[in-house]
Amino acid sequence: MQLKDTVFYVTGGASGLGAATVRALHARGALVGLWDLDVAGGEALAKELDGSAAEGSRRIVVSEVDVCEEDDVVNAIAACDKQWPKSTVGGCVNCGGVGMAGKTINADGEPFNLDTFKKVVEINLVGTFNVSRLTAARIVRDLPKPIKKPDAKTPDRGIIVNTASAAAFEGQTGQVSYSASKGGVVGMGLPMARDLAWFGIRTMTLAPALFRTPMMERLPERAREVILRAAEFPVRFGEPEEFGHAVIACIENPMLNGSFIRLDGATRLGKL
């Protein structure tokens, strides 16, 4: 799939893996809808990358988006359409997410807060699906009608790249809500790819282990040391740029579809 002058939406684009993805796409000439609740952070990144470009020639449009809110996503898509009315939409990269630690019951026997569990699942899983479905609908909107079943000549029309986690497979102590949400992201990858195959749209899931992001910085030093001891090679945390590189690989290789890629240096997480 062509990257230059193609529109991609990136959730959580103001920091961490999302910001690295925005940088990678922008460097290859893509047009980026940077979606985040942190508008100030998003605008700072856009200013850094677009420099003094006039409004009509900007290659990043920042929108305040709660991924769980349909209207936010619809309005952000409209903002990109307004900025780049003649450009093709290539898909989205879902990097927005949260991690809230807590055991099923704590040392005093008190249960994990149910509202917190629901919130993590809502943002990480429901939010990812919300953006994915609306992005797919936007891609399909521009296709010639009627849309016929794909064959060997059908072009690569778009891709949804979702972010799971190594915790989807080896959830650590206190990650019950996070692991459940990310396991759901992995689980919906194949059926979503099958749903969208008729339209020539692909779906891929990236499952990183610990990367140098703001979320990682909040982990206790002991937890980071334990994770590093489980690393094989490289014996370090992932760099956000490496995640961005994996996103580009997913976009550019049409045979990557309906599956997941672990970005973990052969790390298998223990229970902490």
Question: Which residues are marked as active site?
Answer: 178
DSSP 79: H
Whether the Cβ atoms of residue 156 and residue 179 lie closer than 8 Å to each other: no
φ, ψ dihedrals at 146, nearest 5°:
-75, 155
Instruction: Tell me the C-alpha to C-alpha distance, in Å, between residue 261 and each of 28, 30, 75.
Output: 22, 23, 31
- Exposed e or buried b for every residue in 124-152, given b needs 16+ CB within 10 A? bbebbbbbbbbbbebbbeeeeeeeeeeee
What's the CA gap between 228 and 269, in Å, rounded? 9
Structure tokens at 132: 């994915």
Residue 161's closest CA among 122, 201, 121, 199?
201
What's the CA gap between 225 and 206, in Å, rounded? 24
